[in-house]
Structure 1
Amino acid sequence: MFLSYCQCHHLPNPKFQNTKPLRIAETRGVQSIRKASTRNIRSLPKLSRNNSWYASLLQHCSRERLLEGGLQLHADMIKSGFDSDTYLRSSLLGLYVRCESLDCVRTLFDTAGSLRTNLVSWNSIITMYFRLGLIEEALSAYLELRRSGFAPDQYTLSVLIGAVQERGDLRLGIQLHCVCVKFGYGEEEFVANSLIKMYAAFGRTDASSRVFEKIRGGSGSSVAWNSMIARHVEDERYEDGLKLYEKMMNVGSATTPLTLSSVLRACAAREQISEGKQVHSQVMVRGFVPNVILETALLEFYSRCGELDDARKVFERTEDKNVLTWNAMIRGYSQEGYIEEAFELFRAMRRGRMVSDKFTFPALLSGAATGEDCEFLQQFRSIHACIIKTGLESDRFVGASLVTMYSRNRRLEEARLAFDDTSSKDIGVWASMISACAKNKQGAQAIALFSEMLLLGVTPGPSVFPSLFAACGELSALEMGKQIHGYGSKNGLLSDSAAQNSLITMYSHCGLLVDARRIFSSVPDPNVVSFNSIISALAQHGHATEAYELSRGMELVGVRPDGVTLLNLLSAFNHAGLVEEGLESFSSMEETYRIEPTYQHYACIVDSLARAGEIDKAFGLIGAMPFEPDASLWRIVLGACAKHGNLETGKRIAEQLVELEPDEATNYVLIANVYARVGRCAEATKIRNVMAARGLQKEEGFSWIEIDRRIYKFGVEDRSHPRSEDIYVGLGELTTEMKAACYVPDVSFTLHDMEAGPAQGKPDKISDNSSA
């Protein structure tokens, strides 16, 4: 009834004669503001205008963010002489701040002197600058506030701490912390929560913990607890996060959906299924669902723990599925290897007209299988086409996932195209491309990309260094590796265990076992990967006994060996020729460590037996293992047949290889070498003729050498270097000196890998290598 009167301006025989005229005028004013009509405002009787009337309408405009209506009221206030009222000025300022009208705020604040004597006004100005991302202006306004003689309050400091966090200035943040302590707010919960978040954002969990422990009252609010638990989880300190959650429960602080989502992430990372299900029970008991954050966390928890049936139940029970829940379920199927199910879910998502976002495609691509003949590679390519169609190919998250997918499928050229299409390349995209090059044995490209990244001003992160050290190790580029090591150490980017473990491997590959040991000794809390890295290094350098002792010693410090540890140990015995010790360790894997031997463990033992000349035993083990042997394993034994002149077994293996890979030139070269070893050159020549008839050529091999911080690549009879003539002159002189020292090259394994046989006098061809 009352609203009808306001809209119609009058009604005959009203039933609310006792209503104050002022309230009627105010409500009519609100209706006018909603219509954004100056004529309606000015048509009201003049006697209805007073401070309360303007204050009420300004409050409404601020609440509804009606900037145009606020400007009309401001003009009317000036005309009516109410613009000098301090309270109305503050209300106007609040309205302009809420509407984020920077020009109006600055004009009003500069012309209305009374606003500068009000701390609330200063706080409004600082808050607005912060919300608009004008961090420098927010800090300048604070300095002006201090020069005006005002002391900041809790709200001022909290906003400034957020501004410093946004600016990424830890040093200034520490100074602000000192200001908080100076004015007595350091232990106040409101300010402490902001400090906790700031230190957490800078990765200073230790400082966050100290602030948290000093909160006045002892326990802190759920906001503080959430910040601390979330920070521990972000830092992958899952056990600390779970302990903090237990403490939170003990002190009786109320849990929130944010609390439980962080705890679920910790449970997922540690695969603590029982604990995660208890959290799920709390979610249900406390009535926190439906809640998209929690439901997504539950989906990811069950998916990461391999409980896809439970994850699907949560997904199906989610009433209002949004893109986050779809992404989580797709990612769960994809990462567990259920690629077809992930694609079907993606299709169902599109049928339901749910718009995919920049995280949908990375979720779908995360399950890209490894290997050159990926069953789903064509489907992944179709997803790439869909990405281009939706215009997301330039997004950094999508670009990084495409690079990783093509890299895992050994499609480096396509990975590079996806990298080049990504316009906003952050460190994540660069790290993905560098990793792709390193994993596909293109170490020189990886190092070149790193140099290009630095030239473009992209700041490296810890994630890029493991790939760089792997690249340097592959190339034996010791000096380059040392430079990158120095750069990373100087900038504090090598505290990550993955980088330290890669350093161990790099120095080992470059022949510096002493440095590899030194890096391992400096790791504060070595994990199983750290032990595996140093055991592998010892294995490569023939220190089988030390590798074995270290594998036993790791158990004493609470690190349990895994399958990789035992594989490295078997490799150590293999390189040292300790066949019996290797067989003994292999036989005791399941009994002692409860680890079932994988294909790689069997392959290592087969290699060990083959190297020792136990070819029949190696052949027998291949037949007895619970895996289908691939061509590379047969080649190991065939190579041993060539070395030891075992023609009969070599023939049987040759048949297997030709059946598996009829177009692989290496297989024919090895078969020819078996015949050559036993002096049957006619058969060897026949094999070479078969290769020629089929147009098969062995892939050319290359080597690398680092001179004066530059990496050179060279191959047989390579003349691409501008100084190749000088190189060959020097090579000839070295060959002459070698012959004078009675050195005779062993050409038994290479004769049938060249264009001519021994009778044509070609052994010198082995020496013809030139840098390129």
Structure 2
Amino acid sequence: MFCPLVCLWPLLSCLPSPMPPILPPPTPCAADSTPRPAGDAVPHRNQKPPTHRQRCRITTSSSSSPLSAARVLIANDPTPRAFSALFKAASSSSPSPSLGSQLHAQAVVRGFLGDGDNTILSTAVLNFYASCREPDLARRVFDRMARRNAVTWNALIKGYAQAGRRDEALALFRCMRRQGGVAPDKYTFPALLSGIGRNHGGGCVQELGGAVHAQVVKSGLDKDPFVGASLVSMYAATGALEDVKVVFDDVDTLDPVVWSSMISAYINCKEEEAALLTFYKMLCQDIKPRQFVYSSLFAICGSMSMLEMGRQVHAHSLKNITDKDAAMTNALLTMYSDCGCIDDAWRVFESNDIVDVISYNSMILALGQHAQPKEAAELFRQIKFSGLIPDEVTLLNLLSAFNHAGLVHEGLHLFDSMLDIEGIKPTYQHYACVIDMLARSGEIEESMKTIKEMPFEAETSLWRIVLGACSKHGDIETGMKIAEMLFEMEPYEPTNYILLGNICARLGRWAEAEKVRSLMEKRGIDGDDAFSWIEMGQTTHKFGVDDRSHPISEEIYRNLDRLIGSIKAAGYVPDTNFATHSTEKDRREESLRYHCEKLAFAFGDLASPSGDTLRIMKNLRVCGDCHSAYKYFSLVTGRKIVLRDNHRFHHFYNGACSCGDYW
């Protein structure tokens, strides 16, 4: 199949570049109070020591600056204006509720808030508590105020919305208009809409969003870019793409926020090519993208394995973004990794002067996917050496790296030390990774034991992992038990039947494999179609099994037949255990020849110069016969081949694979 994508890179290249507050109880106005969610954790940043792979500038954290400023303020006989400035500064950094409470008490003791008549200072205190995800404390300040303006109401509405308490935010909006006599402005609606978008799982979200949208139109703010961007985000969160387009067309603006929201909306709705096209239109209108737009585009290019497009977007970002952004850099790192370029991912990681735990986590995950567990373990040691604190994601990614490499002893040691040494309680995902590790290595019985002992109920996906291991290791007894259970829990999930059929086929029990296939047909279940794709030049070329739809299909098949002859002469023997169950015995070897990943390689070998690295992607796990064929392809052609399946990356060179035949 020939699949041209949006080819933008030639165009991109030519574009320009704790003391409690002293407050009375609140008076009623909005909905009843509900328990607040925990505040978002803020990752600690620290220096990264130089290593043989890295040379980073040593920097220090400035997390203590609000506290230092507070001490200086208290010591210098502050004015209400000085208190307001400090609260405002603290709100925009990493707000600490305990520090704010103490400053609030100091302001009350000094008489600045005693009569409740200082609107500016009261609003600053209210906004601080709202920023800390403490809307109830903000509400107590609000109820004490003698005068309120739009800024005050907006801050409180935003506080409840950001804390996930949508109904109370809506109740406040009604109070603002009816009791407060204050007209909403362009900051009111974004605060309110953010609360609706956060609760997109609710049944009445679209109705609520439509009602607020109507109020926006009544207020004459439907053309405002700030409000328009919020409407786009709200509708995107509910999946209402047509409404998103209507809002975007109504907002006649060149504001980058609106365009950024539109790109995010397309990504939310799985319209990746439309997002790329919107980015191109944005550049054509000379609108400078913000950092988070580049982050989103890097994620698209990575998920679609569009390496050339990703490189062009990266080059464009270097021309337009001067300040380094951690989220953008991590997205760039992941993009190169997802496109099979682990060396480029390393270079992005090493180019960071300041890295945080999230950066390390991204790189450890990438190394694990590319079969480099030693490097992943070295990065883990660097985290601890630098003074940063590993989190549960760090340990999960390192466990995954050990799992992919079959390092069971190292993985179990890490898992057993999680709570005692790292102070992190294992989650379901950690247990699942360990169970996968045990099962994949052939310890099926031990993996079953771990499932029974873990403090979580196993989900069907975890049982399916063990069933896949039973297929790999030919444990038909355990496999049959798990398959029967999964057939009852998920009667229409094709993977369960395919895995059981694979067990029977590997053991040569073709009659039983045929029964599994017949059961699938009886229940009307179709397996997922396998396909592979390769990016060549400005186009992505996609291939299915025995696919003859490509414009140069005849040349591809001739080249593949030639390649098969060459690798057979070099020692390749087709493994008919991976042939389709329904294929007649004398045709099983022939059916293996035209698997989608073999066709993709044959095309790449034709279309690219000799010696070039080929990067090929597959939507399912690579079969054992194709894995063996790829090793021989790399031997007879002298090419490096990077193959990404739905589990990991395989780097083939000179007749060997980076996975060591363990996947």
Q: What's the TM-score once normalised by structure 2's chain length?
A: 0.68
Question: Tell me, what secondary structure is at the counterpart of 2:315?
Answer: helix
Taking every aligned residue pair, what percent have the same amino acid on both sides? 46
Tell me, yes or no, if the aligned pair for 2:88 and 2:128 is still in contact at 8 Å: no
Separation in 1, partners of 2:197, 2:500? 32
2:415 is aligned with 1:609 = no
Q: Any idea what the Cα deviations from partners look like across 1:82-103, whole Å, max 9, x if unmatched? A: xxxxxxxxxxxxxxxxxxxxxx
Q: Deviations over 1:399-432 (max 9, x none)?
A: 5445555666777787667656655463233334
Summarize the alignment of residues 119-138 of structure 1 with structure 2, pairs less than 5 Å apart.
none
Decide whether the 8 Å contact of 1:465 with 1:499 is kept in 2: yes
Alpha-carbon contact 2:408-2:441 (below 8 Å) kept: yes
1:274 aligns with 2:98: yes
Aligned: 1:536 with 2:365:
yes
1:239/1:446 CA distance change after superposition, 3 Å: farther
**Does the 8 A contact of 2:190 with 2:226 survive in 1?**
yes
Secondary structure class of the residue paired with 1:378:
coil
Q: How many residues in Structure 1 have an aligned counterpart in Structure 2?
A: 530
1:262 maps to amino acid: K
Separation (CA, whole Å) in 1 of partners of 2:127 and 2:324: 28
Q: Is the 8 A contact 1:747 1:763 kept in 2?
A: yes
Pairing 1:471–2:300 present = yes
Q: Which residue of 2 aligns with 1:696?
A: 525
Pairing 1:639-678 to 2, within 5 Å after superposition: 639-678=468-507
Instruction: Within 5 Å, give how 1:674-753 maps onto structure 2.
Output: 674-717=503-546, 721-746=550-575, 748=577, 751=580
| Pairing partner for 2:91 from 245, 260, 265 | 265
Describe the superposition over 1:202-242 as per-residue Cα deviations: whole angstroms up to 9, x where unpaired. xxxxxxxxxxxxxxxxxxxxxxxxxxxxxxxxxx9765455
User: Could you tell me how far apart the structure 2 residues matched to 1:686 and 1:368 are?
Assistant: 51
Matching residue of 1:88: none
| TM-aligned CA deviation for residue 277 of structure 1 | 0.7
The partner residue of 2:201 within 367, 376, 396 is 376
In 2: Cα distance, 1:351 partner to 1:598 partner: 48
Equivalent in the alignment of 1:37: none
2:466 alignment partner, one of 637, 652, 656? 637
Deviation track 1:487-517 (CA, whole Å, cap 9, x = no partner) reads: 2222334511222222322333334333333
Corresponding position of 1:73: none
- Over 3 Å counting, the alpha-carbon distance change for 1:540 and 1:303 in structure 2 is same
Q: Partner residue of 2:421?
A: 592
Q: CA, structure 1 residues 280+624, in 2 after alignment: closer, same or farther (shift >3 Å)?
A: farther
CA contact (8 A) 1:443 1:474 kept: no
The answer on 1:284 being equivalent to 2:284 is no
Which of 618, 622, 633 is the equivalent residue of 2:451? 622
Amino acid in the other structure paired with 1:278: Q
Separation (CA, whole Å) in 2 of partners of 1:661 and 1:419: 42
2:380 is the counterpart of 1:551: yes
The equivalences for 1:466-505 within 5 A come to: 466-493=295-322, 495-505=324-334
Q: Which has the higher contact order (CA 8 A, sep 6+)?
A: 2
Q: Partner amino acid for 1:605?
A: V
* Correspondence 1:515 to 2:344: yes
Counting only pairs closer than 5 Å after superposition, residues 256-335 of structure 1 correspond to structure 2 as 256=81, 258-266=84-92, 269-285=93-109, 286-288=111-113, 289-290=116-117, 294-295=121-122, 297-317=124-144, 324-325=151-152, 327-335=154-162
Q: Residue 563 of structure 1 aligns to which amino acid in structure 2? A: E
State the 1:243 CA deviation.
3.7
The alpha-carbon distance between structure 1 residues 482 and 291, as it changes in their structure 2 partners (threshold 3 A), is farther
Paired residue type of 2:85:
T
CA shift in 2, pair 1:611/1:263, >3 Å: same
Shift of 1:641: 1.9
* Residue range with higher mean Cα deviation, 657-666 or 436-445: 436-445
1:176-325 equivalence runs, <5 A: 239-240=64-65, 243-244=68-69, 246-252=71-77, 254-256=79-81, 258-266=84-92, 269-285=93-109, 286-288=111-113, 289-290=116-117, 294-295=121-122, 297-317=124-144, 324-325=151-152
Structure 1 regions of 5+ residues with no counterpart?
1-235
Per-residue Cα deviation, 1:579-634 (whole angstroms, up to 9, x for no partner): 12112212222222222222322222222122112223323333333334333323
- The 2-side partners of 1:384 and 1:409 are apart by 9
How far the C-alpha of 1:435 sits from its partner, in A, is 4.3
**Separation in structure 1 between the aligned mates of residue 572 and residue 350 of structure 2, nearest angstrom:** 42
- Paired residue for 2:8? none
* Mapped contact 2:383–2:389 kept (Cα < 8 A): yes
TM-score when scaled to structure 1? 0.59
Equivalents in 1 of 2:485, 2:187: separation in Å? Answer: 45
Which amino acid is 1:428 matched to? V
Distance 1:404 1:737 in 2: 55
**Distance in 1 between residues matched to 2:89 and 2:344, nearest whole Å:** 40
2:259 matches 1:430: yes
* Richer in helix (by share): 1
Cα 1:673/1:426, change in 2 over 3 Å = farther
Mark the CA change 1:476 to 1:437 in structure 2 (over 3 Å): closer, same or farther.
same
**2:228·2:251 contact (CA, 8 Å) conserved in 1?**
yes
* 1:304-336 CA-partner distances (Å, limit 9, x unpaired): 544454344345545666665555445444444
Deviations 1:109-147 (A, max 9, x none): xxxxxxxxxxxxxxxxxxxxxxxxxxxxxxxxxxxxxxx
Aligned-partner SS, 2:332 = helix
Secondary structure of the 1:705 match is: strand
Paired letter, 2:404: H
Change (3 A) 1:617 1:332: farther
Aligned pairs for 1:453-468 within 5 A: 453-468=282-297
Q: CA deviation at 1:543?
A: 2.6
Counterpart residue number, 2:210: 385
8 Å Cα contact 1:330-1:363 kept in structure 2: yes
Task: Quote the Cα distance in structure 1 between the aligned partners of 2:161 and 2:505.
Answer: 50
Give the aligned partner of residue 62 of structure 1. none
Query: Given the superposition, is the C-alpha separation of residues 693 and 550 from structure 1 closer, same or farther in structure 2, using an over 3 Å criterion?
Result: same
Task: Report the Cα offset of residue 259 of structure 1.
Answer: 0.7
Structure 2 gap segments, 5+ residues each: 1-60, 605-663
Aligned amino acid, residue 487 of structure 1? H
1:576 deviation in Å?
Answer: 1.9
CA offsets 1:325-360 (integer angstroms, 9 cap, x no match): 555445444444455665666677788697665555
Q: One-letter code of the match for 1:688?
A: R
**For 1:442 and 1:523, how far apart are their aligned partners in 2?**
31
1:302 is matched by which residue type in structure 2? Y
Q: Which amino acid is the alignment partner of residue 298 of structure 2?
A: F
Q: Which amino acid aligns with 1:273?
A: P
The 8 Å contact of residues 475 and 704 in structure 1, kept in 2 or not, is answered as: no
1:567 deviates by 1.5
**In 1, distance between residues paired with 2:108 and 2:383?**
43
Give the Cα–Cα distance (whole angstroms) in 1 for the partners of residues 157 and 471 of structure 2.
50
Distance 2:575 2:247 in 1: 46
Q: How does 1:52-71 map to 2 (within 5 A)?
A: none
Distance 1:393 1:688, change over 3 A: farther
Q: CA deviation at 1:709?
A: 4.0
- Partner of 1:588: helix, strand, or coil? helix
For 2:410 and 2:434, how far apart are their aligned partners in 1? Answer: 11
Judge conservation of contact 2:196–2:209 (CA < 8 Å) in 1. no
For 1:413 and 1:702, how far apart are their aligned partners in 2? 31
CA contact (8 A) 1:474 1:509 kept: yes
Q: Secondary structure in 1 aligned to 2:371?
A: coil
